[in-house]
């Protein structure tokens, strides 16, 4: 039996997200080092207002860059965590006669979480949550394989 293409895509997303986090961390570390250097140079040149002023302007610009990179890193980490959670989630192959409520009851012990399953699998199920088909492979969010 061939591998589920969605599983392969999720595995690729995990790898891509991990690379994005590593790049964001490296870029943030470099920007922080440059900022610290700019602040140190401004302090060393405090007796020369023109040079200190220019260095302080550069430091302010670097502070904004660091803040943006911190936000980008947080977003990359969140995407990586989501991809990792999806990669480790359980999968369910739809059987004849099943509904999302039945599947929800099986994994969550309540039929009321069917919408979570639907949202995680909308690309497979389509626009009508009542039209799941036998053989479809659905990811069960919030579970571990």
Domain range list for the chain: 5-87, 90-140
* pLDDT for 4: 79
Which DSSP symbol is given to 136? -
CA-CA distance, 90 to 36, in Å (whole number)?
A: 46
pLDDT of the residue at 35: 94
Give the per-residue pLDDT at 11.
86
Q: Coil, strand or helix: which one is 90?
A: strand
Query: Is it the case that residue 144 has pLDDT exceeding 80?
Result: no
As a whole number of Å, the CA-based R_g of the chain is: 24
pLDDT at site 65: 95
Using alpha carbons, select from 30, 17, 114, 34 the residue that is nearest to residue 74.
17
Mind listing the pLDDT tens digit for each residue in 56-111?
A: 899 999 999 999 999 999 999 998 888 888 888 899 999 999 999 999 999 999 99
pLDDT of residue 10: 87
Instruction: Give 89: exposed, middle or buried? Use CB within 10 Å, 0-12, 13-18, 19+.
Output: buried
Q: Which residue, 27, 12, 37, 30, is CA-closest to 71? A: 27
> Which 3 state secondary structure label does DSSP give 30?
helix
- Tell me the fold of 90-140: Membrane-bound Lytic Murein Transglycosylase D; Chain A (3.10.350)
Look at the pTM and tell me if it is higher than 0.75. Answer: no
- Per-residue pLDDT of 76-88, as tens digits, reads 999 888 888 888 8
pLDDT in tens, 2-50: 577 888 888 898 889 999 999 999 999 999 999 999 999 988 988 998 9
């Amino acid at each position: 039996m061939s591998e589920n293409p969605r599983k392969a895509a999720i595995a690729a997303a995990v790898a891509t997200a991990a690379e994005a986090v590593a790049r964001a961390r490296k870029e943030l570390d470099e920007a922080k080092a440059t900022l610290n250097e700019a602040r140190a140079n401004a302090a060393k040149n405090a007796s020369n207002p023109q040079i200190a002023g220019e260095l302080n302007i550069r430091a302010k610009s670097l502070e904004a860059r660091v803040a943006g990179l911190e936000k980008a890193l947080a977003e990359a980490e969140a995407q990586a965590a989501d991809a990792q959670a999806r990669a480790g989630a359980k999968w369910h192959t739809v059987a004849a006669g099943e509904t999302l409520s039945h599947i929800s009851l099986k994994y969550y012990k309540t039929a009321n979480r069917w919408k979570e399953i639907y949202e995680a699998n909308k690309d497979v199920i389509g626009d009508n949550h009542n039209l799941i088909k036998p053989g479809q492979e659905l990811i069960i969010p919030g579970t571990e394989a």
